[in-house]
Amino acid sequence: MNSSILTAIESLCDDIATNTNPDENKKRAEAVVSLAFAGVFTPSEYEDEYEDDENEQATAPAISGKVPQAGTRFGYNGIEFVVLGEEQGGVLAVVAERLKKEMPFDENNCNDWRGSTLREYLNGEYLKKFNKGDLLPFVSDLTSDNGMTDYGTSEDYIALLSDNLYRKYHKFVPKYDTRVWTITPWSCVPGYAYTERSVTTSGALINSCAYAAYGVAPACIFNPKIFE
């Protein structure tokens, strides 16, 4: 900026400081802006540019207001979750670390989630860690590994991943330090209705007896509003 422009700006600023007429001071301020940008912007163009910036800032969502992408980790009431994807109108997430205590899928060795002791625990004692308003109902398909639909579906606040959801989101599901349960039975055939699908530490799906004590990785569907 050359000295003549700088002198003119200083003079205008002095006038603004000593003048109480708002209309005249507005014109002086516009002149200061015009001189400062040395012809790059006219005062009206500067105002338009400034207004555009303000509008952009007003409409741009805050980072905390965005639904996190798959693979993102976030904390909720002291529990770390991993986002898997959007399911059933909400955000499907699974715990980043399995529960400390290993548990049977069902103490009575039945692979029907609807009556299992693990379901009772997760939607009873464990659910107390959550605000129900932050969750959406999680409908699970209980189709067995061999395609039987005898168990139908279940609706819970807290559940486990099914075989199909595990396959769909395999690359985002953490590898836990012990075998963990899925919600999928191996078969509903009488005489085999005690065998449940589980995931090994290598990520492989295998069959396990429902009364065995394995790791538990709760999954749930969060209401997107909690990320606003």
Tell me the pTM. 0.71
Reported as a single tens digit per residue, the pLDDT across 140-161 is 999 999 999 999 999 999 999 9
What is the per-residue pLDDT across 21-66, written as a single tens digit (0 to 9) for each? 666 655 666 665 555 544 433 344 334 443 443 333 332 222 245 7
Burial class (CB in 10 A: 0-12, 13-18, 19+), 216: buried
Q: For residue 22, list its beta bridge partners.
A: none
Q: What is the pLDDT of residues 170-197, one digit of tens each?
A: 999 999 999 999 999 999 999 999 999 9
